Structure 1
Amino acid sequence: MSTQQRGGPLQGVRVLELTKVWAGPYVGKLLAYLGAEVIRVESEGSLDVTRTFGVDDIDNAPGWQSVNPQKLSVQINMKSEEGIKLILDLVGECDILVENLRPGAVKRLGLGYETVKAANPEIIYVSMGMWGSDGPLAYQTGYAPCFAALGGISALVGHEPGAPEGMNTRYADSTFGAAAAYAALVALLHRKRSGVGQFVDVSAVECMSSMISDSIMDYALNGVVHECDGNRHPEMAPHGVYPARGGEWVSIAAANGKQWAGLAECMGKPELARDPRFATLADRKANEDELDEMIAVWTAGCCPMELVTKLQKRGVSAAKSQSSLDLIADPHLWVREFYRDVTDPDGNSKPTLGPSWEMSRPAQLGDAAPRLGQHNAYILGEILGLSGEEQETLRASGVTR
């Protein structure tokens, strides 16, 4: 098997993506960042919503660009028998298949696990569904807000004593996608050791519930129902977001007594560190409303960046709450390569979010998200071995458009 060589731990691994929107494509993004060759199957008649939402140019949509860098695009019409045959031929050249289509869709198309396994007995088949692929609720489909709500996370997001306010939608998709990517890697390691492929069944709801396992266990063992508690933390006080000058906000957290003493000193009230209301974590938690109000009065008149610098010099965890413009301009994030410059098919440079890890031998990252069908010739010709005439026949008949 020959793949594009970019280095990284997954060099030589080929991934086939039958995915939509965000969570499924995010799996491919993470695997591509580890060096895998990721092939995304698309067609003119079934464009991903991230290519079309709010734009005229399907190749430069922000949503599409953000979740598909360093991938290859091949056009195959999955509603045709010839298209399904092409995909099964491609399966034989791949190590991992990822799908997050609507429940039952892959089986109706003729791409269920048993069929795919027959084409490639060693395939790692990653199936992503709201409730997984089996069970009484497996027929239901949903998007990120459903994942977070049904998994229990949204019920904990909000400020007491108000009603839950809900979770940011991208958190659910990205967490679900990261869990599926991790599962794919575990299955790949298992295959390396045993030679046996796997069916990997990933449930979005279960992934979300695992993020609040402490709250679930507290209820299961102790009957405790956790309520919304804003930005507070059970093992830190203070731990919150406080107003600053100019309508800005600053987050501050004291993880121990030393940091609390440093914060009190910054406030010009070192005696607060010895005040019986705040001397220990238990004391500060018991009087947290009063503590938060005191800190908020102090921060309200402060320049946010000066305040953050002052606190950090004393070892106190602090940061300015950043807007999108603040984030993209943050020099620390650029120095740490949180952002990477990639090149689009027209040769234009553009920034994208890089991998969230550092490696001694990382995979090369240089390509922006692909044009629709940009790699048809490579995938159909070099990988599947189809002649130019065969490719033209398939294109003319609509199979590869």
Structure 2
Amino acid sequence: MTDQQKRGGPLAGVRVVELTKVWAGPYAGKLLAFLGAEVIRIESEGSLDVTRTYGVKDINKAPGFQAVNPQKLSVQINMKSDEGIALLLELVKESDILIENLRPGAVDRLGLGYEQVKKHCPNIIYTSMGMYGAEGPLSYQTGYAPCFAALGGLSALSGYEGAAPAGVNIRYADSTFGAAAALASVAALNHRSKTGEGQFIDVSAVESMTSMIGDAVMDFSLNGAVRQCDGNRHEDMAPHGVYPCRDGEWICIAVSDDQAWQRFAPALNLAGGAGALAGRFDTFASRKAEESELDDIIANWTASHDASELAATLQGLGIAASKSFSSVDLISDHHLWARGFYADVEDSEGQSRPIVGPSWKMSRGATINKAAPKLGEHNKYVFGELLRLSDEEQERLHTAGVTR
């Protein structure tokens, strides 16, 4: 058993080959690694991931690459060579899952499409990630996270009420797409454990994003209604928004139902911020009907408060509330550290660094202690231990540029 397999977790013993670039594909591999899988990234000097090179001099210390590739292995294989493809197929034979998010048609041109890989490994789980998926009239198109969010419909709904769409954070699309691919891969593993059958999984980024706004899609399909931007409003909650506080800070407040409102309203009244409330907003329907005025009342009240102190007070009343965090707030939040939201990992030089850890807690979770790998850091392990190549053959392949 390898050191990776000794980490434990529900996917201990599962090996994943990653033919991925940038963020969405590597994020899927990251989630599988966090579940205990041994995830091996295929890289080469001649085709470096942009996250290794963007804005840095040292490709092994690039923040973008470090963020999305912890607890993985890196092996160098030149996929532009026939010997490189042959090596890769031998590695796939020793693996359970292959994830790819290369440009449309690239894997087929390389001889690494599903049907070709299946001949070498009949029970492989092959997860293909594309903007529009692997089939259909638009499957030839490629794109990045802003395209996913826009074409999936999210960007059109993200903005202030009565204003033009403002769009969403670009990483939201990549991570949502990546999480969908990881979930599908785990479901396929479960299926294979019962049937012995591998699967081809076709994941569309656009469809993944559209699934996040299913209510809006169904409203149009059934009623012809076209949703508009509505700021921070929520169909089933009122008030539900972000309100100004002292010193340029903001607080998020969500009142879930009439019972929560009965706990919230006295806080407003006691502060003298809403003397005219008396019974006006006791029902969800009444709060929703005059939501703009209610938001103004709350905003006038919160403006004189410290965001953190007010959030703590409201939480004590059972109201969902939180200071709107900056990046500095997030990284210094004691609660997040205490809950294990961040994990300390160590790179190959023994240096410790924090990463965003898994979004779950398990009674028997995987150990997460390794930072993202150096380029080719695990060549010896993959070529020597897994593929059982002699030292002489490894040297020949390196000299020939196949494993660089």
Normalising by structure 1, we get a TM-score of 0.98
Offset of 1:160 from its aligned partner? 1.2
Distance in 2, matches of 1:394 and 1:319, equals: 56
Q: Aligned letter for 1:60?
A: K
Distance in 1, matches of 2:114 and 2:352, equals: 39
Counterpart for residue 57 of structure 1 = 58
Q: Aligned letter for 2:210?
A: S
Q: Does 1:259 align with 2:260?
A: yes
Match for 1:282 among 281, 285, 309? 285
Structure 1 segment 1-400 matched on structure 2, within 5 A: 4-269=5-270, 275-400=278-403
Q: CA RMSD in A?
A: 1.3
Offset of 1:259 from its aligned partner? 1.9
Offset of 1:273 from its aligned partner? 9.7
Q: Aligned letter for 1:313?
A: G
Offset of 1:314 from its aligned partner? 1.0
The number of residues matched between the two structures is 401
Answer yes or no: is the 8 Å Cα contact 2:269–2:277 preserved in 1.
no
Q: Write the deviation string for residues 335-354 of structure 1: whole angstroms up to 9, x where unpaired.
A: 10000000011000100011
Distance in 1, matches of 2:260 and 2:217, equals: 30
Distance in 1, matches of 2:293 and 2:5, equals: 60
Offset of 1:265 from its aligned partner? 1.6
Local SS of the residue matching 1:291: helix
Q: Aligned letter for 2:338?
A: V
Q: Aligned letter for 1:387?
A: S
Offset of 1:316 from its aligned partner? 1.1
Distance in 2, matches of 1:295 and 1:224, equals: 30
Distance in 1, matches of 2:165 and 2:270, equals: 35
After superposition, the Cα gap between the structure-2 partners of 1:273 and 1:76, relative to the gap in structure 1 and judged at 3 Å, is: farther
Offset of 1:277 from its aligned partner? 3.1
After superposition, the Cα gap between the structure-2 partners of 1:60 and 1:279, relative to the gap in structure 1 and judged at 3 Å, is: same
Offset of 1:325 from its aligned partner? 0.7
Answer yes or no: is the 8 Å Cα contact 2:269–2:275 preserved in 1.
no
Q: Aligned letter for 2:182?
A: A
Distance in 2, matches of 1:336 and 1:52, equals: 33
Answer yes or no: is the 8 Å Cα contact 1:97–1:126 preserved in 2.
yes
Distance in 2, matches of 1:196 and 1:205, equals: 28
Give the stretch that moved more between structures: 18-27 or 255-264.
255-264
Q: Write the deviation string for residues 94-144 of structure 1: whole angstroms up to 9, x where unpaired.
A: 000000000000000110111100110010000000000011000000000
Answer yes or no: is the 8 Å Cα contact 2:245–2:302 preserved in 1.
yes
Q: Aligned letter for 1:304?
A: A
Distance in 2, matches of 1:155 and 1:143, equals: 17
Distance in 2, matches of 1:286 and 1:28, equals: 46
Local SS of the residue matching 1:363: coil
Answer yes or no: is the 8 Å Cα contact 1:261–1:273 preserved in 2.
no
Unaligned residue ranges in structure 1 (runs of 5+) = none
Local SS of the residue matching 1:40: strand
Distance in 2, matches of 1:257 and 1:275, equals: 14
Answer yes or no: is the 8 Å Cα contact 1:264–1:272 preserved in 2.
no
Q: Aligned letter for 2:45?
A: E
Offset of 1:269 from its aligned partner? 4.5
Answer yes or no: is the 8 Å Cα contact 1:51–1:63 preserved in 2.
yes
Offset of 1:67 from its aligned partner? 0.4
Offset of 1:313 from its aligned partner? 1.1
Q: Aligned letter for 1:350?
A: R
Offset of 1:272 from its aligned partner? 6.7
Q: Aligned letter for 1:314?
A: L
Distance in 1, matches of 2:393 and 2:106, equals: 28
Distance in 1, matches of 2:221 and 2:278, equals: 37
Unaligned residue ranges in structure 2 (runs of 5+) = none
Distance in 1, matches of 2:146 and 2:189, equals: 30
Local SS of the residue matching 1:98: strand
Offset of 1:149 from its aligned partner? 0.4
Q: Aligned letter for 1:161?
A: G
Distance in 2, matches of 1:276 and 1:216, equals: 36
Q: Aligned letter for 1:89?
A: E
Local SS of the residue matching 2:235: coil
Offset of 1:260 from its aligned partner? 1.5
Local SS of the residue matching 1:309: helix
Distance in 1, matches of 2:167 and 2:275, equals: 35
Distance in 2, matches of 1:133 and 1:57, equals: 35
Q: Aligned letter for 1:70?
A: Q
Offset of 1:268 from its aligned partner? 3.0
Distance in 2, matches of 1:354 and 1:276, equals: 45
Answer yes or no: is the 8 Å Cα contact 1:73–1:372 preserved in 2.
yes
Distance in 2, matches of 1:64 and 1:273, equals: 54
